[in-house]
Chain A
């Protein structure tokens, strides 16, 4: 539960940011009254939810965005003398995107999806009938959600669950949807294993993961912070991590603390397996440290505290990545897609 922070003019909110981090963006709450008049009500709502981190992880944001865009498309009517293929993107879609970006910097899966959607609009002939174009777009979105989100999640969890053996002690960080699915599926398949959760005290998602795993009879060790990292890594057979994105050089862009765990595991010669849908791969960005692409946590941006939401894990600290298409090192799937 994030408290809504008191809204001040943007300049003031950012003025407390230390100079060495002043290039890093931060989510902000925009009063709905200040939003562009063309922003669709459904988009207004998810924008607020993203700004307050009620919708937080990359896939949740992607799905919410696509569903909201679905509503935008459904209520769209091409003005007289215009065609959808010319008018929709610049006059309707772009204001939605701008607003969402203002609320919180877009995640890379959203960028990928929007690019695909725009390409689809461009594919339409200038004289494609509006109804047909709208149908086509809605179909694209549905297919996209089915394939890249729902099916991807299923396939990744299934493949990852196969990697879990009886007697394993698997270390994970916080709560990631794919990791949770994998544990539950492996248990369903009859595997007997322990899970060691290191939580992020600024998020505490790990407690919910612990609860959900315990309900199906998985033994859980819970560490509230990275303090017990060495002992936890020592005990673990391998490490299973989720991520927000994977960059073109194979670096993970994941919850701050992920890199610390991957380094500790690598130093202890434990396998580090990362689960990631291909929609979260960014083929254009390269990052070797966490200060290139990141976000400032608006909740911890006060006069006496500062926090980055993400860190960058270099591919040398990753043993393998499991995606819905194939598995390999951090680099190879990025190349393949």
Chain B
């Protein structure tokens, strides 16, 4: 849950610091440990995964692209399996794998076409889409759908047509030693390595800038006089609200299901309250289990998604679906915030949505006989079906459900979509 996130943040910092000093395997193990203990969670998983994969690329020994892909895939699935409740990890792994495939195919095109053209192609693909798509070759995966027999198109790489279409993924291999990719020259390994590392840096930039980019749409989404219900505001939502408060006078209801923990006497949103009040925005913390009671006063409901599935459903903090449902009952719009790196090319899993957590704060375990028989279910993650979401506000701007498929296609390669199903191999 968002409010408690701050207290876990040092774990991420520590992990990232330790990455350089440790062996790769030690880094992987300590990340898995932190994931299992939920000391790294939510958005931090994306950043940590990117950092770790960066180490995998930099530190592991590999002589061709297939080895590298296998390596990334193996580490990736170990991470994903350590935290099946964090689909965001798989997203980053897929992104990195897609990146490797792109860079590899560029390299090979470069070999075929001559180095001069290659640099042209590169600069083209690097420059054009970057402001909006930090990934080097976002259009790359589209052509895949146009062809029926990708493996026969290798020769096409030399044609003029391909020169104009910039990046050709038609020949990007399905992983496996038999693909032409294994012929990549060892001399290009270091070049590929540095290109992939650059690409990962861009993914990391995308992750770190997402909140700011999302916040830049706040002024459009929030109007003067609005009553905005922010459910368990995450860092993303907080930044969004604060940004809006610079130009708009409105009222924010902060909602969560539980009373503040008795142990922490301080208001978890004190800092946010201060910032909003400074902008003349009123903030009211609603201490309530149900949210229907307030909905007639609310104009819009905002919360952040932990992941956006391909059907448009959301993985969210527990209770956000109560907010979305109440909004829907009163026909009030629901705006889900989340960077494109949260878009997950999978269908929602039943188990994840009902994830239950620590129940000790609700039932005193000193009361032995009662607790023995009582089946306490403290749900910590929840699923919001697509029909309850009106706007997906991403770093690329507001989207509707109908745009999701093309965004997914822009960011993932079809051959990596099934990634999490691949069992981890040590």
Contacts and interface: CB of A to CB of B under 8 A. Distances in A.
Interface in B155-174: none
Interface stretch (B13-21, B101-109, B320-328): B320-328
Contacts of B375: 219-222
A20 interface: yes
B257 A291 contact: no
Interface residues of B, number: 49
Contacts of A257: 288-290, 292
A308 interface: yes
Contacts of A229: 321-322, 325
A20 B376 CA distance: 37
Interface residues on A, range: 35 or more
A300 B287 contact: yes
A230 B377 CA distance: 12
Contacts of A291: 293, 296-297
Interface-centre pick from B291, B294, B295, B325 (highest chain A CB count, 10 A): B294
A201 interface: yes
A226 B296 contact: no
B285 A306 contact: yes
B293 A259 contact: yes
A42 interface: no
A37 B374 CA distance: 50
A259 B290 contact: yes
Contacts of A258: 290
B258 A263 contact: no
B286 A201 contact: no
B353 A230 contact: yes
Given A220-B374, A226-B289, A227-B382, A264 B294 contact: no
Interface in A279-337: 289-291, 294, 297, 300, 304-308, 310-313
A224 B376 contact: yes
B379 A305 contact: no
Given A225-B289, A256-B290, A258-B290, A306 B284 contact: yes
Interface string B286-321: 111111111111000000000000000000001101
A202 interface: yes
A223 interface: yes
Interface-centre pick from A224, A226, A294, A308 (highest chain B CB count, 10 A): A226
Contact of A200 (B286, B289, B373): B289
A142 B123 CA distance: 91
Contacts of B267: 304
A300 B379 CA distance: 24
Contact of A224 (B227, B321, B329, B359): B359
B282 interface: yes
B354 interface: yes
Interface in A196-238: 199-202, 207, 210-211, 214, 219-232
A18 interface: yes
Given A201-B362, A304-B267, A310-B293, A227 B379 contact: yes
A267 interface: yes
A260 interface: yes
Contacts of A310: 293
Nearest to A290: B293
Interface string B235-278: 00000000000000001000001111000000101100100000
Interface of B: 227, 251, 257-260, 267, 269-270, 273, 282, 284-297, 318-319, 321-322, 325-326, 329, 353-354, 356, 359, 362-363, 370, 373-380, 382-383
11 contacts: A210-B370, A223-B379, A228-B318, A230-B382, A231-B353, A231-B354, A290-B294, A304-B285, A305-B285, A305-B286, A312-B292
